[in-house]
Structure 1
Amino acid sequence: MNKLAWQILGTGGAALAAIATRKALGAVWEKSTHRPVPDNPANSEVGLGEAIAWTVVSGVGIAVVQLTVQRFAAQAVRSRFGEEALPKKMRLVQAARD
């Protein structure tokens, strides 16, 4: 159950946060640019500047939200189930040894 908690909170939470963030960023993009979100920024019909702007905005936005959710989830799992419930790379004890 301990490791399942991390899978649900850490991995699942980050995935759901990415989906929600992309939708929110898309709404902000459309409101501010009065243009639809580029479905495929690699398509040559999308201008290079627009493709780069959407890629940067969505990439950074999603990465920041995922990082925040994973840090919050790690703290929640750590306080409820202990370090052993986290993946090795997330454990504080492991990080202190390296």
Structure 2
Amino acid sequence: MSQIAWRVVGTGGAALAGIAARKVLTKAWEKTTHRPAPVNPQQSGVGLPEALAWTIVSGVGIAVVQLLVERAAANFVRERFGEQGLPKQYRTLEGP
């Protein structure tokens, strides 16, 4: 049950958070720059500086949101099922 909980809350939550973050960042970009987000940097009319700026903003923004959701999900699973409910890479390292 704990592995299923991690898949739903951890992996699924991070994926949904990434999609939501991209939508929010796109709206914020459009409101701030008064131009559509350059989701296709090869499109004519999109300069290299604009394409780079969008790549940095969207990449960092999505990564931060996914990190926060994964941390919250790991804490949720850890509280409900203990360390064994998490994948090995998310378990707390216990020193000697």
State the one-letter code of the partner of 1:2: S
State the one-letter code of the partner of 2:7: Q
Q: Could you say which structure has the higher helix fraction? A: 1
The normalised TM-score by structure 2 is 0.93
SS of residue paired to 1:96 = coil
Aligned residues: 95
Q: Deviations over 1:26-58 (max 9, x none)?
A: 0000000000011212x0622000000000000
CA RMSD of aligned residues (A): 1.4
Q: Deviations over 1:64-96 (max 9, x none)?
A: 00000000000000000111110000001xx23
Q: Which residue of 1 aligns with 2:94?
A: 96
Identify unmatched segments of 5+ residues in structure 1. Answer: none
Q: Which residue of 2 aligns with 1:48?
A: 48
- Find out whether 1:18 has 2:53 as its counterpart: no
The normalised TM-score by structure 1 is 0.92
Whole-angstrom distance in 1 between the partners of 2:94 and 2:56: 33
TM-superposed CA distance for 1:23, in Å, is: 0.2
Identify unmatched segments of 5+ residues in structure 2. Answer: none
Q: Which residue of 2 aligns with 1:69?
A: 69
Q: Which residue of 2 aligns with 1:59?
A: 59
Where do 4+ consecutive residues of structure 1 move more than 2 Å? none
Percent identity of equivalent pairs? 63
